[in-house]
Amino acid sequence: MAAGKTKSRFGLPAGLARSEPKRRPIRVADAIKAEIASLFVRKISDPRLYNIVITSVEVSDDLGHARVMYSILGNEEPKDVAKGLESCKGFIRSNLAKALALRHVPVLDFRLDLAGQKQAEMEQLLREIAKEDGSSP
């Protein structure tokens, strides 16, 4: 018996299984995304952060950490944008606490989302391939 545990034949009820995402972290993530986006439009005046878009927010199940994914629209330097986000992180958290009325505001972790950039590179490669195929006899 001590050598290994056997799986129980009794499963968890529907909705409590770990494979399904919980609803509250998803709702909190959506609220955080909307609030941060509105802060960038209305209250944050750092010129390093003018050309960024919040693409997604993922919140841990215990609501302790939030990963905020962003992408850069212009030709801003990613290091400068990261420094700007780091400098206004406390301001963002304090405004999230006021707006969302959470007991504990998640620790924010800003990460550059490269999906849009990679998609543009793939589209460029596909255009080049199509051009080569169309010009060859």
Query: How do residues 73-97 score in pLDDT, each as one tens digit?
Result: 888 889 999 999 999 999 999 999 9
| Per-residue pLDDT at 52 exceeds 70 | yes
Which two structure tokens, joined as six digits, stand for 129?
Answer: 């391939």
pLDDT band at residue 24 under the 50/70/90 scheme: confident
In degrees, rounded to 5, the angle at the alpha carbon of residue 41 between the alpha carbons of residues 26 and 83 is 80
pLDDT at 121: 84
pLDDT at 136: 47
What is the average per-residue pLDDT within 86-110? 92
CATH topology of domain 23-135: GMP Synthetase; Chain A, domain 3 (3.30.300)
Domain regions of the chain by residue span: 23-135
Distances (CA, A) of 46 to 10, 50, 81, 95, 103: 55, 7, 10, 16, 28
